[in-house]
Amino acid sequence: MALSIQPLHPQFVGEVSGVDLTRPLGRDEVAAIEAGMDRYAVLVFHDQRLADEQQMAFTRNFGEIENARGGNVTRAGQHRLPQGMNDVSNLGRDNQPLARDDRRRLFNLGNQLWHSDSSFRAIPAKYSLLSCRLPATVGGNTEFADMRAAYDALDARTKEQVADLICEHSLMYSRGSLGFTDLTDEEKALFRPVRQSLVRVHPVSGRASLYLSSHIGTIVGWPRPEAMAFIRDLVEHATQPGFVHVHRWRQWDLVMWDNRQTMHRVRRFDESQPRDMRRTTVAGDAPTAEQIAA
C-alpha cells in the first residue's frame, strides 16, 4: 500500500498510513512525509515498532540529530538510552519510575507546560519525533497547538505589536516558573538565555507563526512583568481549543511535529506506573535572532 496522509485535524494534524518506519525509506516516501510536515506541522503514525537505532535512522532522513547536551539535568552515568535519544519517560536506568523527589523527574515536569522543543538553544530544533514504547495507564495525552492559526487569528494591532519583538528563552525560566530553582553553577551556565524572534516565517510555506514557549522569560527592551503578562496573554490566545489537537497514545505510535510551527505539552499522568516515551530531535539550521556576545 502506498503512503497516504489523511487529515486528523483539518488545519494541522495528518495521519500517515502505508509506510513501515522500521525499514529504510525510499526518496519518494521521505519527500511525501516532508511535504506533509510542511502542510500540516504534526504527523501521526501508528503501529511503528521502532527500536532506538531504527528511530534514529528514520530521523536522519530529515537532517542531523540534535545534540541533547544542555537540555536536562541528567548526569553522566544516569542515561537509560543511547546517545541521540532523548529520554522523556519517567524511568531511571533500572526501568523503574523515578522517585517522587528525583531531580530528573521534577525537571521533566516542565514538559507539562506549553513549549517548543529546544527554543532555549541559539539554533532551535526543527522536528521532534516521539515514539510511544509504553503509554501511561492514566492520563499522559500530548497536546499540540497550531501557532500559524494562532498568528493568523491575531488582530491587526497585535500583529503589528509582535512583528519585531525578540524574546529571551531559557530552561531556567520554564523550570523556575514551577519553582524548580536548585541548579548547579554548571547548569546555570549551560542554561544561559538565548534570543528568539517572536514571529517566525516558515521557509517552505511562507506562513507566519507565533514562536511561543514556556522557556520565555522576557522580551528584549521591555519591563519584565509587562513582557510576561503579554506572553501569557498570547499563550492563552494560541492554546484555545480550536487551535489544539489532543493525541491519545497507543503503544507504538510515533508522532512527529515541526517545532517552528507548533507548541506542545504532556498532560499529567499516573507516575507510579512506567510511561516510556523516547524522542529524537532534528536539529535546526539557523538562529531566529542575533545573539548577544557572551
CA distance 51 to 106: 27
CA distance 173 to 151: 23
| Least distance in angstroms from the C-beta of 239 to ligand OGA | 15
* 66 sits near Mn ion (criterion: CB under 5 A): no
Cell numbers for 207, please give them.
506562513
Q: Which is nearer to ligand OGA, 170 or 219 (by Cβ)?
A: 170
Which residues on adjacent β-strands are paired with residue 197? 166
The option from Mn ion, ligand OGA, none interacting with 259 (CB < 5 to 8 A, set by class) reads none
Phi, psi of 48 (to 5 degrees): -110, 100
Q: Which is nearer to ligand OGA, 128 or 209 (by Cβ)?
A: 128
The option from Mn ion, ligand OGA, none interacting with 88 (CB < 5 to 8 A, set by class) reads ligand OGA
Give the residues lining the site for ligand OGA (CB under 6 A). 88, 111, 117, 128, 130, 142, 264, 266, 277, 279
**Residues 287 and 121 sit within 8 Å (Cβ to Cβ):** no
Name the closest residue to ligand OGA (Cβ): 266
Please list every residue from 113 through 152 that binds Mn ion, using CB under 5 A.
Answer: 117
CA distance 254 to 267: 17
| Least distance in angstroms from the C-beta of 62 to ligand OGA | 16
| Least distance in angstroms from the C-beta of 187 to ligand OGA | 19
The option from Mn ion, ligand OGA, none interacting with 72 (CB < 5 to 8 A, set by class) reads none
Q: Which is nearer to ligand OGA, 88 or 145 (by Cβ)?
A: 88
| Least distance in angstroms from the C-beta of 241 to ligand OGA | 19
The option from Mn ion, ligand OGA, none interacting with 277 (CB < 5 to 8 A, set by class) reads ligand OGA
The option from ligand OGA, Mn ion, none interacting with 266 (CB < 5 to 8 A, set by class) reads ligand OGA
| Least distance in angstroms from the C-beta of 117 to Mn ion | 4
Q: Binding mask 155-184 vs Mn ion (x if CB under 5 A, - otherwise)?
A: ------------------------------
Please list every residue from 89 through 118 that binds Mn ion, using CB under 5 A.
Answer: 117
The option from Mn ion, ligand OGA, none interacting with 279 (CB < 5 to 8 A, set by class) reads ligand OGA
Binding site for Mn ion (CB under 5 A): 117
